[in-house]
Chain A
C-alpha cells in the first residue's frame, strides 16, 4: 500500500465502521417506527446538542469528580498495600489472604451495603470506585515487585547501594510497567463501578442522569448519555494507554517485560 493509501485506510476504515453502525441503527429505528423505543441517530444527536447547553457539563463534572476521588484513593491504597506486602514476608502473609478473600466480591455486591452505610449520594459511587480500583493495581504492583530480577538487586547491593536506594532506584523502576498496567486495569473496573454506583445509589453524575432521563421517558437523551459513558470511558483508557507508551519509551525494560 502506498503512503497516501495507508493514511487513507487509517482514517477511512474506522470511519466506515462508525458509519456502518449508524446505518444499522437508522434502519432499526425505521423498522421499529417508534422514536421512544429506538430513538433515531439524528434525534439522539439533537438531544446531545440540547444537553450540552443544560445539565451535561455539570453531570460530566460530577462523574469525573467521583472518579478522581475514588480512583485516586483506590490506586493510592492499592499501591501502599502492595509496598507494605512487599516489604516483609510476614506482612505479605497477612495482607495477601485478605485481598484474595475480598477480591472476588465484586464492587457491585457492595452497593446495597454502601447505600445502607452512607445513604444514597456521592459517597456510594466514590466508595465503589475506591474499592474497585484498589485490587488490580495491588495485584499488578506486587507481582511486578516480586518479578524484579533478583540479580539487579544483587548488582545494586554489591555496587554499594543502601536498601532505600535499592527500592527507589531498582525495585520501583523495574516494577513501573506493571504498576502502569495495573493502573489501566483499575481504571477499567473503576469506570464500570462508577456507572453502576451512580445508577443504583448516586445522586449526581452521568450514570445517575441516565436514570433521571428515563423517569421522564426521554429515551433520546438516555441513548445520548449511554454513548457519552462509552466515549468518556474510552477517552480515559486512551489516556492511560498513552502513559503506558510513554513509560515504555522512557524505560526500555517495559518493552521487554510487556512481551
Chain B
C-alpha cells in the first residue's frame, strides 16, 4: 500500500522484473508444447513468431489490414459527422436531451454487432455491412462526449467573456470551442478504439456467414475466420490477435500524442 515505509522500485527493477517473468513464461510455454507434441493444436511462441514472419513477408497481413483500416476510417468519420452535431445539440438543449435520452441510451446498449443481420440485408456482405456496424459503434462515444463537453463548459468563463465585451462569435470561437474540444477529442479516441473492435467483430460475423461460400472479403476479421475454418492455423491466429492489439495500442498512443500537441491546455 501507499502508506508505511515502502520505497519505490528502481527504474531498472521495473523493467527487468516483468521482462524476466515474461521470458520464463514464454520459455516454459514453448517447452510444454514441445514436450507434449501439440504443435498445431495449441499455439506456441515459436510458431507464432514463424507465422508472423511469413505473413509479414508475403504481405497478406498488410493487405487485410488496409481493407479493415479503410472501413474503420470511413465509419469513424461518419460517426463524427452524425455524433458531434447531435451531441452538441443534446448538450445545449435540455428539452432535447430529456426527449432523446432513453432512446439514445437504449440504442447505445445494443451491441453494434447485433445489427449484423439487418446490415447484411440492407448493405450486402461485401464490406458495407461491416461499415454500418463500425459507424454505429463510433457514433455513440461522439454523442456522449460532445453533449458532456457542452454541459461542463464553465458558466463563469462565459460570464467573464461577456463582461470583457465578447460578442457571440468570439464567445463561440474563443470560449466554447476551446472548453469543449478536449472532451470531444477524448470521445474521438474512444470512438476510434470502439470502431476498431467493431470492425473485427463485424468482419468475423460476416466472414462466418460467407466462409462456406468460397467468397473472401479483404479484412483482418475475414482473414481470421479463414485461418480458423479453412487453414486451421493456430499460430497465425495468435499472430493476428497480436496485430489487432498492436493496432489499437498504436491508434490510442497516436491520438494521445495528437491531443497533447493540438490541445495543450487540457488533456483528459
A230-B205 contact, Cβ under 8 Å, with A199-B114, A210-B117: no
Stretch from B51-59, B77-85, B93-101, B157-165 forming part of the interface with A: B93-101
Establish whether residues B237 and A104, one from each chain, have CB atoms under 8 Å apart when the complex forms.
Answer: no
Q: A17-B102, A98-B22, A233-B109 are in contact. List 10 more A-B contacts (CB 8 A).
A: A17-B98, A94-B18, A107-B197, A108-B201, A112-B227, A112-B237, A157-B3, A191-B111, A227-B106, A230-B108
Chain A residues positioned under 8 Å from B232 (CB to CB): 116
CA distance A157 to B5 in the complex (A): 12
Closest to A211 in B: B117
CA distance A211 to B209 in the complex (A): 10
A191-B109 contact, Cβ under 8 Å, with A14-B98, A94-B18, A199-B116: yes
Establish whether residues A98 and B101, one from each chain, have CB atoms under 8 Å apart when the complex forms.
Answer: no
Establish whether residues A89 and B9, one from each chain, have CB atoms under 8 Å apart when the complex forms.
Answer: yes
Is residue B228 contacting chain A, with contact meaning CB distance below 8 A? yes
CB distance from A35 to the nearest CB of B (A): 12
Is residue B35 contacting chain A, with contact meaning CB distance below 8 A? no
Chain B residues positioned under 8 Å from A21 (CB to CB): 103
Establish whether residues B114 and A229, one from each chain, have CB atoms under 8 Å apart when the complex forms.
Answer: yes
A17-B204 contact, Cβ under 8 Å, with A90-B17, A94-B18, A108-B197: no
Q: How many residues of B contact A (CB 8 A)?
A: 62
For chain A, residues 160 to 180, give those with C-beta under 8 angstroms from any C-beta of chain B: 163, 166-167, 171
Chain A residues positioned under 8 Å from B225 (CB to CB): 112
Give per-residue flags for B116-147: 1 if the beta carbon is below 8 A from chain A beta carbons, else 0. Answer: 11100110000000000000000000000000
Is residue A223 contacting chain B, with contact meaning CB distance below 8 A? yes
CB distance from B229 to the nearest CB of A (A): 9
Establish whether residues B6 and A89, one from each chain, have CB atoms under 8 Å apart when the complex forms.
Answer: yes
Establish whether residues A230 and B107, one from each chain, have CB atoms under 8 Å apart when the complex forms.
Answer: yes
Is residue A16 contacting chain B, with contact meaning CB distance below 8 A? yes
CA distance A178 to B117 in the complex (A): 37
CB distance from A14 to the nearest CB of B (A): 5
Give per-residue flags for A80-98: 1 if the beta carbon is below 8 A from chain B beta carbons, else 0. Answer: 0000001111100110111
Establish whether residues B109 and A229, one from each chain, have CB atoms under 8 Å apart when the complex forms.
Answer: yes
Q: Which of B13, B100, B115, B246 contacts A226 (CB 8 A)?
A: B115
Establish whether residues A230 and B117, one from each chain, have CB atoms under 8 Å apart when the complex forms.
Answer: no
Footprint of B on A, CB under 8 Å?
9-10, 13-14, 16-18, 20-21, 36-37, 86-90, 93-94, 96-98, 101-102, 104-113, 115-116, 145-146, 148, 150, 153-154, 157, 163, 166-167, 171, 191-192, 194-196, 199-200, 207, 210-211, 213-214, 219, 222-223, 225-227, 229-234, 237
Is residue B30 contacting chain A, with contact meaning CB distance below 8 A? no
Is residue B184 contacting chain A, with contact meaning CB distance below 8 A? no
CB distance from B22 to the nearest CB of A (A): 8
Establish whether residues B101 and A93, one from each chain, have CB atoms under 8 Å apart when the complex forms.
Answer: no
Chain B residues positioned under 8 Å from A115 (CB to CB): 228
Establish whether residues A93 and B3, one from each chain, have CB atoms under 8 Å apart when the complex forms.
Answer: no
A219-B117 contact, Cβ under 8 Å, with A14-B99, A93-B13: yes
Closest to A222 in B: B117
Closest to A157 in B: B3
Establish whether residues B121 and A219, one from each chain, have CB atoms under 8 Å apart when the complex forms.
Answer: yes
Q: Which of A14, A90, A109 contacts B244 (CB 8 A)?
A: A109
Q: Which of B107, B113, B252 contacts A195 (CB 8 A)?
A: B113
CA distance A247 to B252 in the complex (A): 32
CA distance A191 to B110 in the complex (A): 9
Establish whether residues B3 and A154, one from each chain, have CB atoms under 8 Å apart when the complex forms.
Answer: yes
Establish whether residues B252 and A226, one from each chain, have CB atoms under 8 Å apart when the complex forms.
Answer: no
Q: Which of B3, B117, B118 contacts A153 (CB 8 A)?
A: B3
Is residue B238 contacting chain A, with contact meaning CB distance below 8 A? yes
CB distance from B147 to the nearest CB of A (A): 14
CA distance A189 to B162 in the complex (A): 43
Is residue B245 contacting chain A, with contact meaning CB distance below 8 A? yes
Is residue B88 contacting chain A, with contact meaning CB distance below 8 A? no
Closest to A100 in B: B249
CA distance A87 to B2 in the complex (A): 9
CA distance A210 to B241 in the complex (A): 26
Closest to B227 in A: A112
Q: Which of A163, A199, A222 contacts B113 (CB 8 A)?
A: A199
CB distance from B4 to the nearest CB of A (A): 7
Chain A residues positioned under 8 Å from B122 (CB to CB): 37
CA distance A211 to B115 in the complex (A): 10
CB distance from A172 to the nearest CB of B (A): 11
9 A-B contacts (beta carbon < 8 Å): A10-B98, A17-B101, A21-B103, A86-B1, A105-B244, A200-B201, A211-B116, A219-B121, A237-B109
CA distance A219 to B120 in the complex (A): 12
